[in-house]
Amino acid sequence: MSRRSLTSLLLAVVLVATGCTTPDPPTLNDGAALVERWRIPSPVSGWDFTDREFGLIGQDRRLISVDPASGALRWSLDLPDGYRVTRDSVSVAAGAVVVRGPGGFRVVSATDGTVLWQRESTGTVVADPAGLLLAECRGKGCELSSWDLHRGERLWSRETGEPVEPVLSTPYQCECVFLLGERTISSIVLDDGRVPWSMARPAGVTRLIPALYRVILFTPPARPGCAAVLRGTDVGTVHWTREIPTTCDAAGPVSGDELAVPVEGGVEMVNSYTGANRTIPLGEGETLVADRITWTPGIGYRDLDDREAPPAQVPAPADGRPAVVEPEAGLWLLRSGGGLALWSRVHGIRWTGPEPALIASVDRLVYLDGADLVGVGPPDGAGW
């Protein structure tokens, strides 16, 4: 080793040992007060859809892409009459944006907003990084077809012997789509149309919930017992079953590493992998308003996983409708007062402002201030 190389190596070792390394860039959760970083005339007056990865904001027929760091408007697209950008009508996969309309769908580049391809169909569409699955069901079966997201080329097609509902898997389970049929439940690979597994659909199952490592089969509560049934499955095998008495109007569990099911006097937490369950008691008037976050009048928002911690010290919502707009690691964007509050476990209230707002990246919060779209973040040099 040369003298210069040895000197560089020793310097690097000393810097690491003494902690003299480049610190991480500041985030919304750092100590410095957040400041306005940019402001632009807003192309939308609100939003019904957002995507953090590509800075997408959608309202009615308009879809835009904004750089959260600088506020630069990357592109804006107005869709045809009949289209509406909502959380249910838009999906993003592999840099492509799929927008479903009344008689078809369009696939748009998330990079520049150009329409890559479109197709007329009244079928169900789901998008996955491996491709787009179109299910066109009529009578006693469906025609399934898989399409290349960016080129619009059909990869394969096949018929099913029963109506099916496509359900996206999670990346931890498979590069496939689950099919909830009248008689069976199966998975299908988008690349080549293979069906790796299939199982009989248990009686009463109405919904598939893809959890982290299991597919949860949900049977809703019914009178007289009003018990919900959860089954944890993997590649067509049921590994555990839990019957949980709940309320007859329970819509279903809130999904995560654990499934949260409201029960009398508390919340039943079910481990999605093992099926192990535990009950967390709730106080008087306390309700679950989001995954792991509860609201109690006169007390505030609390974390189910840290019952000993003090509640979030934010004003109650003026209209009496508590909600968690967005939970982020160490941060909650909460309905509070006449608008929203960004609350940190460590630093308390980080920002307050009007609705709507979103956590656009780890270092930017974007909100609508009248006719302007505004980006808030740590000041230059904070944390360095």
**Mean pLDDT, range 227-256, rounded to an integer:** 89
pLDDT tens track for 304-352: 989 899 999 899 999 999 999 999 888 999 999 999 999 999 999 999 9
Pull the structure tokens for residue 171. 């990346």
**Mean pLDDT, range 178-204, rounded to an integer:** 96
pLDDT number for residue 251: 73
pLDDT number for residue 382: 66
Report the percentage of the chain scoring pLDDT > 70: 93
Residue 370's Cβ-count burial label (10 Å; 0-12, 13-18, 19+) is: exposed
DSSP state of 3: H
- Whole-prediction pTM: 0.88
More confident call, 278 vs 250: 278
**Mean pLDDT, range 4-26, rounded to an integer:** 52
pLDDT number for residue 321: 97
pLDDT of 91 higher than 70: yes
Phi and psi dihedrals of 251, rounded to 5? Answer: -80, -25
Confidence of residue 99 (pLDDT cuts 50, 70, 90): very high
Tell me the C-alpha to C-alpha distance, in Å, between residue 346 and each of 219, 307, 329, 365: 40, 16, 11, 18
Q: 101 near 79, Cβ under 8 Å?
A: yes
CB-based contacts of 134: which residues, under 8 Å, 6+ apart?
119, 121, 123, 124, 125, 144, 145, 146, 147
Tell me the C-alpha to C-alpha distance, in Å, between residue 131 and each of 6, 127, 149, 311: 50, 6, 5, 44
DSSP state of 201: P
pLDDT of 6 higher than 80: no
**Mean pLDDT, range 185-211, rounded to an integer:** 95
Lowest-confidence pick of 156-160, 199-203, 252-256, 281-285: 252-256
pLDDT number for residue 135: 98
Q: 168 near 158, Cβ under 8 Å?
A: no
Confidence of residue 19 (pLDDT cuts 50, 70, 90): low
Rounded to the nearest integer, the mean pLDDT of the chain is 91
**Mean pLDDT, range 197-207, rounded to an integer:** 97
CB-based contacts of 201: which residues, under 8 Å, 6+ apart?
180, 181, 182, 183, 184, 185
AA letter at 209: I
pLDDT number for residue 106: 98
pLDDT number for residue 22: 60
pLDDT number for residue 380: 87
pLDDT of 1 higher than 90: no
Pull the structure tokens for residue 278. 């535990």
Paired sense of beta strands 104-109 and 364-369, if any? unpaired
Q: 332 near 324, Cβ under 8 Å?
A: yes
**Mean pLDDT, range 224-235, rounded to an integer:** 94
More confident call, 3 vs 193: 193
**Mean pLDDT, range 112-128, rounded to an integer:** 97
